[in-house]
């Protein structure tokens, strides 16, 4: 986008210079209390330059406002990205802990060879239920 605007500005400047060079007659310019007699070319180029300066000054407040807004939005974005990274780390740690618990619960407990499990679970002799 910038190269297009630069080329457009260059074309306008070339046309302004050509126009000014073809209009070299002396003119009198009166502004408030001042009176100047200059060539039309110089008056036109100075008018063009004054217009460009005024145009740039009208853009400055908007440009500064946008840069300030962009800066504050970048700070907010950085803070949000930091918070997101912290939340992801906590979630990953929580999921890893749950996976470990699930893994531990799904693995059968290893008993020594020859050990017998009993209804009471204490490794003692099996006691039949009452009434059998």
Q: Is residue 28 part of a domain?
A: yes
Over residues 103-124, the pLDDT tens digits come to: 888 877 665 655 555 555 555 5
Tell me, what's the pLDDT at 132?
A: 54
The domain total for the chain is 1
Q: Is residue 128 part of a domain?
A: no
- Report the chain's mean pLDDT, rounded to a whole number: 83
Q: Is residue 35 part of a domain?
A: yes
Query: Can you give the three-state secondary structure of 18-79, one letter per residue?
Result: HHHHHCCCEEEEEECCEEEEEEHHHHHHHHHHHHHHHHHHHHHHHHHHHHHHHHHHHHHHHH
Q: Is residue 118 part of a domain?
A: no
Q: Is residue 7 part of a domain?
A: no
Q: Is residue 77 part of a domain?
A: yes
**β-bridge mates for residue 37, sequence order:** 28
């Amino acid at each position: 986008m910038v190269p297009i605007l630069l080329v457009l500005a260059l074309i306008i400047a070339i046309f302004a210079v050509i126009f000014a060079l073809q209009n070299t007659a002396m003119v009198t310019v009166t502004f408030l209390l001042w009176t100047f007699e200059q060539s039309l070319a110089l008056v036109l180029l100075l008018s063009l330059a004054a217009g460009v300066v005024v145009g740039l000054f009208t853009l400055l407040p908007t440009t500064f406002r946008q840069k300030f807004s962009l800066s504050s939005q970048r700070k907010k974005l950085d803070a949000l990205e930091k918070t997101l990274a912290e939340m992801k780390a906590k979630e990953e740690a929580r999921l890893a802990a749950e996976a470990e618990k699930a893994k531990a619960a799904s693995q059968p407990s290893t008993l020594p060879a020859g050990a017998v499990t009993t209804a009471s679970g204490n490794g003692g002799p099996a006691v039949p239920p009452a009434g059998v």
